[in-house]
Homo-oligomer: A and B are copies of this chain.
């Protein structure tokens, strides 16, 4: 990517009402633009980060045999009356068609669509399990949305739903998904700060599970049990049954501020019953189908990474989701031919690289590179060329380590 062709503008300071660090840094680095409170446009750099997070999640969902689909955000009232959730759910944007007078809402969750959908694919036990997921912009009429990117009114979510013949199959598959979730957070680079957290399970099961990432800005509180590498949220930590089950009175728990980046709910038969989703077992008998659902807040993840890893002034992207791996900066214009040669060499190897060919000073480009946070800066100058035709200076952003390297060996 030639930076002269990229829609990019960074800001030293922003005069906005943004209080949250992640939104401030995302705006300053040219990743997002604020349209109004808690509604943002993703700029090209922000798109790149989001796509990388999305692709990591997609890869892992596909690896546990989940099928990608896309369900409508616009949903009619009728399906939701069947489960009684039309009146019950708050945070919904509801409206009526001017022409047809049909009542709609924009739904942040899809049980009322996915359950009757999957019902069409299930006749016998041979048709189970079924697992589907989607990436979708969700809409939420937020009462309070104080943490910038952490709570958008419109945000990308991955929601996944699985359907099983019985509790046992559901429990086995849950372990597979749990492992996929752990791989996702590890690959993104927040695995060391993201903990499986026991939460209240609602009507149909004892527990649900949340994935909570530790950061100062977090609005949630978890109680971390290091020995077992699990945590408990504050809904259930005072529950005497829970305390007994995990022997919590005799354990050391660490209290941490966190953001919820994912959750897993055991729905059991909560939705398969009202929609009568059943299958015939191998004796021909009809049985009810069991469900589980798995969410990841993709948009919120981007903000959470920043909240968890930034320092006083800068975003610190994990390499896997940084917008580019390298940026190439020439000390003077006369080295621009050499810079282009390095650029082409890396591009030919499918390396993600940006060439800063803008009509700006060296130091402006270096500052910009720090703000955007490329994992590596490649500097081309008389000093590097003096060391050999193919030699460049590579500066690692996080350690500050500098090396003179033959650029043809980079990957």
Contact = CB atoms under 8 A, between A and B. Distances in A.
Nearest to A131: B7
B44 A7 contact: no
A92 to B, nearest CB: 8
A239 to B, nearest CB: 31
Interface string A136-171: 110101110000000001100000000000000000
Interface residues of A, number: 53
A44 B73 contact: no
B75 A117 contact: no
Contacts of A136: 137
Given A41-B71, A93-B104, A121-B9, A98 B141 contact: yes
B65 A44 contact: no
A386 interface: no
Nearest to A127: B9
A40 B9 CA distance: 39
A284 B98 CA distance: 49
Contacts of A76: 35-36, 39
Contacts of A130: 7
A154 B68 CA distance: 18
A135 to B, nearest CB: 10
A74 B7 contact: no
A69 B95 contact: no
B7 A72 contact: no
A67 B35 contact: no
A115 to B, nearest CB: 12
B67 A117 contact: no
B72 A44 contact: no
Q: 9 nearest interchain CB pairs? A: A95-B95, A42-B70, A7-B67, A44-B67, A74-B154, A41-B71, A39-B72, A99-B143, A72-B154
22 contacts: A7-B121, A7-B130, A9-B120, A33-B120, A35-B72, A35-B75, A36-B76, A39-B75, A39-B76, A40-B72, A41-B113, A42-B70, A43-B69, A46-B70, A47-B69, A50-B70, A74-B93, A74-B153, A90-B98, A93-B104, A95-B95, A137-B137
Interface of A: 5-7, 9, 33, 35-36, 39-44, 46-47, 50, 65, 67-76, 78, 90, 93-95, 97-99, 104, 106, 113, 117, 120-121, 126, 130, 132, 136-137, 139, 141-143, 153-154, 359
